[in-house]
Every structure is written in structure tokens, then in C-alpha cells.
A and B are shown apart, each in its own frame.
Chain A
Amino acid sequence: MMKNQRRKTEEKIFIQIMRIACGIIILVMGLIILTILKKGIPALNWKILTSVPKGGFYFGGEGGILNAIIGSLYLALGATLIAFVISTPTSLFLNVHLKKHFRMQNAIRLFIDVLWGVPSVVYGAFAFSVMIYFGLRASLLAGILTVSVFISPIMIRSMDETLKTVPLNLYEAAMSLGSTKFEIAYKIFFKKGIPGIATAILLSFGRAIGDAASVLFTTGFTDNIPKSLTQPAATLPLSIFFQLSSPIPEVQERAYAAAVVLTIIILLISITGRTISQKFMKNDIK
């Protein structure tokens, strides 16, 4: 009887500990979002969002962070587009053409999974050394290419996770009707996987827009909005990073404003992704 009591108490204690652990996570997320909003919203105004830095901006002069907002959007859109062009055929190949080659499939998946963890600063440093070798200067294009290389494994593996769930019957039925693998890949697997592919794109876009270490050396920094791919571009993460290290409080305020902009973009991406997957989950019979 006593022993039973002890077992029950032990469980109760651990349930409380587990609840606290969950609570900590929710609390920390709330704290982060609140801190960023509380510090950043007062510094946010139309002028900051819609103008580029004027003279002496980084010493507290006039201007805004439009250059960084536009630069970041260009960079993330470009990188996501390139990654999409590379990832779609790769992940379809993995799931359609290699459907019966399990060893090969697993080996490639393992390779890409292992790559997933390579830090962006390594990609950045490598890209920079390539640029120096060819005598290239920091530019939007260099940044786009670097970021696309680094988000491709992420995009491929998350597309792959959805394509994996397409039933084998569908593949076999299409095969028996005389479809080519190309048709199976794009007309069946791609179509079936669209919601998952959309989430994969959003996830990669979020990675691309939020990463600072890979663009640090490759994209450069400028006060202007880039007009061509060969010009350097400013990005939000770097704009936050540089302005925050300034000793002038007003400049730091703007870093907070930029952090709010970046956080809101990420929140929007996260909400959109969740809506997409929930909307399509309803129709999914598993």
C-alpha cells in the first residue's frame, strides 16, 4: 500500500516537472516576442520603413531601413527561386526514379541530412574565398547563390518528406497505364505534394531572409537599393547587427525597429505555413 502511494506521488511530481518544462518554453517564446515588440514598436514609423539612409544615418542622422528591407526580400526571393529550381527535380528524382532503389535513396537522404547541419558561416567563408579567387566583389548575386546553396538541402529534405507519403499504388497505377516517369513525377507526385512543397518553400524563405552569417562577406552592405544583381545589397539581419553595435542610442533604436520588421516577416511566414498545412490536412485521408 505504502509502495503504491510512493509510486503515485512520484508520478505526480514528475508530471509537475514536465508541465514546468512546457511552461518554460511557452514563456520564453512569449518573452522573446514581447521584448522585441516592446523595444521595436516605439522606434518604428513610416519614415524608417520607407526611406533609405541619408548622410550620417549611422551616427543618428535622417533616413530609414528601406534599403535593408528591399535587399533582404530580393536576396531571399532570388535564393528561394534558385533553390526551388534545384530542389524540385532532385526531390522528384529521389522519389520517382529511385522509388525501387532503397539503398540509393537512403544514402542520398543521409547525405543531405548530414549536410543540413553545416553552419552558414562555413558556406559564407567558402563563397567569399571563391569570390576572391575570381576577383569578384560582394554583390547581390553572390549572396543569392551562397544562400541558395545553403538552403537547398533544407528544401530538398522537406519536399522529400511530403513526396515520400505519395502512395506506391498511385505510382504503379500510372506506370501500368504507360505514363513516362516524367509524367508521373510532375503530373502526379508534384501535384499531390503541392501543399507540402509550399511549406518547404516558406521554410526555406524564412531561413534565407533570417540568416546573417552567409551574407556577411558575400552580399556586402550599402545604403542604396540594389538596381542590378552585380551591386552589393543591404540585408535586415546585417542592418540589425551593425546598428546594434553602434554606441549611439538612436542608432540602436533603429536596430530594434529592424528586428521587429524581421520578426513580423518570420511570424507571417510561420502562420501562412501552418494555415496551408492545416487546410490541406483536412482533405487528406491517411
Chain B
Amino acid sequence: MRIRTLNRKILNHYNTIIMVVTLALVILTPVVMFISIALKSSLLLGSLPIVKIFFSSAWEPSKGNFGFLPFILSSVFITILAIIIAGPICIFSALYLTQYARPRLVRIMQPVIDILAGIPSVVYGVWGILIIVPFIANTIAPNFGLQTTGYTLITGSIVLAVMIIPFILNILIEIINTVPFELTEATLSLGATKWEVIKHVIIRKAKPGIISAFGLGISRAFGETIAVLMVAGNVAKIPNGLFDPAYPLPALIANNYGEMMSIPLYDSALMMAALILFISILLFNFLSRVSIYRLEKKL
């Protein structure tokens, strides 16, 4: 009996050690990753003035010019547009699903959202090439008297918008559901219509959460790689309009990493791109998550 207890204690002890080690691994890997990416990109920071890196649009790796402006702006434009497209769809459907919809519709929508969230990036890319690219090239652009290949900023944003819809929608539904029922009930009993409850109570109460959901969506969109790479055109110039090709940061890394070995500065520049992505996404995620945590605690 005593030996058994001892065995159990020893087992417990070793198990705790294993658990602490795995937890440490999970926490330290990204930290190591961040430090090494930062170290690698410091080569570029040391050899070019910062102004030239961030505010120049000359991207000529063979001549040692690494201006990130076209890529940063491409990423920012594509992301903003995607949010503008996806935002209203997400808010309205989240409100409908949580406030009005019959259980049957909710049962239909759940798998739909699941599937949309599960479809791999590359399949979205294929769909973009098959449907959105010709749609832009043959239908939309000619309406504005423009001629394009269809591989443009707006194409990338539309595909990206579809990709982030399930992600934002899921968070929005969760957040709207945290608004206490008593609050909406009280307003309804005062004679308000359901829409007025939504306008004056739910949206107001859930506002920080809604903003955070979009923050998370932004960071999702900012880092999306393959689908955008496939449809956005990838020309290293600042896009001048919706129908210009764009070249976002993740696409830059994916397209060129692996063949930049001959030029050390090029390697460092691509790591710099990874660092910009890393930092901006961590920042957006952190701010959004903290505000969601606060909201959930308060309610």
C-alpha cells in the first residue's frame, strides 16, 4: 500500500515536470522566433537609414535598395478594404442570428460558418482566380472604362473579405451573446422594438467587443498569404487605385524567400518584412484580446 502511494507520488512528480516543460516550450518557441527574426533584420536596419526602408518605394534588391512602402501600403489597403466589405455583412448577420433568427436558420448557419472557416487558403485562391478575377476583369473594370487583368487590389480584398467573415462572425456572435438578457428584456418591456434594443442597448454594450472582433479580423487579414498572393497581382509599386495590382508583405516573403540566399541583405530584408508582420499582428491581437477579456469579466 505504501509503495503504491509512493509510486503515485513519483508519477505525479514526473508528470508535473513534463507539463511544465511543454508549457515552457509553447511559451519560449515564439519568443526565440521573435528574437531571431529581429536579430536577422537588424542587418538591414544597420545598413540603410530607417527613412529609406519605410518611406521609399524603390525595391531593387540587386542594387541594395529595399523600400518597403509599396508592400506596407498594399497590405494596409487590402486589409482596410477587406474589412470594409466584410464588416457590415458580419455585423448584420451576427445580429440577425443572435436576435431574430429561428433555430432552424442557426442550425444551417453554423456548419456554413464552420466550412467557410475550414476551407484552406489555397482553395480560396483557386476560387478567386476562377470567379473573382474574371468578374473584375470582364464586368466591373470595363464599367469604369478600365482595362485590367483582374489581378488587382480589389480582387485580393474581396477574396480576403470572404476568408475573414467566418472568423469575425464567430467572435461577434460570442460577444453579442454576452450582453445580459435582462437588459434587452427591460428595454423591450418599455415598448421598444427589437431593432431599437439592438441599436440602443446591444450595440452600445458590445461596442468594445465589436471593435475588438474587427481588430482580430484585421490581424487575420494582414497575415493572410497564399490566397492573396494568387489573386492580387504582385507588382512592387504603390497601387494607385482599386484596379491596380498590389503586393502585400506576406506575398513578398512567400514569393522570394528561398531564392535570396546569394544576397545577405536581401535575406535580412525579407526577415524585416516578417518582423513588420509579426509586430503589427501581435499588437492588434493583444489590444483586441485584452479588451475582450475585460468585457467578458465585466458582464
Contact = CB atoms under 8 A, between A and B. Distances in A.
Interface stretch (B42-50, B62-70, B89-97, B136-144): B89-97
B242 interface: no
B238 interface: no
B22 A117 contact: no
B194 A11 contact: yes
A25 B36 contact: no
Contacts of A87: 22
Contact of A117 (B93, B121, B220): B220
B244 interface: no
A90 B16 CA distance: 10
Given A90-B23, A125-B274, A212-B225, A25 B126 contact: no
B226 A237 contact: yes
A24 B253 CA distance: 33
A152 B11 contact: no
Contacts of A90: 19, 22-23, 26
Interface string A95-112: 001000000001010111
Given A117-B219, A237-B226, A29 B116 contact: yes
B121 A22 contact: no
A22 B96 contact: yes
Interface in A101-150: 106, 108, 110-126, 128-130, 132, 149
A92 interface: yes
Contacts of B60: none
B254 A182 contact: no
A263 B123 contact: yes
A211 B274 contact: no
B26 A126 contact: no
Nearest to A180: B12
Given A28-B162, A125-B271, A111 B27 contact: yes
B130 interface: yes
Interface residues of B, number: 90
B193 interface: yes
Contact of B100 (A7, A18, A108): A18
Interface in A61-94: 85-87, 89-90, 92-94
Interface in A227-286: 237, 240-241, 244, 255-256, 259, 262-263, 266-267, 269-271, 273-274
Contacts of A17: 92
A163 interface: no
A198 B143 CA distance: 50
Contacts of B90: 21
Interface residues of A, number: 88
A159 B138 CA distance: 47
Interface string B263-299: 0000100110010011001101110011001000000
B123 A213 contact: no
B156 interface: no
Interface stretch (A32-40, A47-55, A167-175): A32-40
B54 interface: no
A34 B16 CA distance: 50
A130 to B, nearest CB: 8
Contacts of A266: 115, 118-120, 123
A121 B8 contact: no
A17 B29 CA distance: 46
Question: Most chain-B CB neighbours within 10 Å: which of A110, A125, A211?
Answer: A125
B26 A153 contact: yes
A89 B22 CA distance: 7
Contacts of A119: 222-225, 250, 277, 281
B109 A22 contact: yes
A106 B292 CA distance: 12
Contacts of B183: none
B19 A89 contact: yes
Contact of A211 (B105, B114, B120, B278): B120
Contact of A270 (B118, B195, B222): B118
Given A180-B11, A212-B122, A241-B122, A114 B289 contact: yes
Interface in B161-181: 162, 165, 169
Given A10-B193, A22-B109, A110-B289, 17 more contacts: A11-B196, A18-B95, A25-B169, A28-B165, A31-B127, A32-B127, A35-B130, A97-B16, A108-B23, A115-B30, A116-B285, A117-B219, A123-B33, A149-B29, A244-B129, A263-B123, A266-B119
Per CB-CB distance, the 5 closest pairs between chain A and chain B, nearest first, are A210-B120, A119-B223, A18-B96, A21-B92, A11-B195
15 contacts: A8-B193, A10-B193, A18-B96, A28-B162, A90-B22, A110-B290, A113-B289, A116-B285, A121-B223, A122-B33, A130-B36, A181-B15, A212-B225, A262-B123, A267-B118
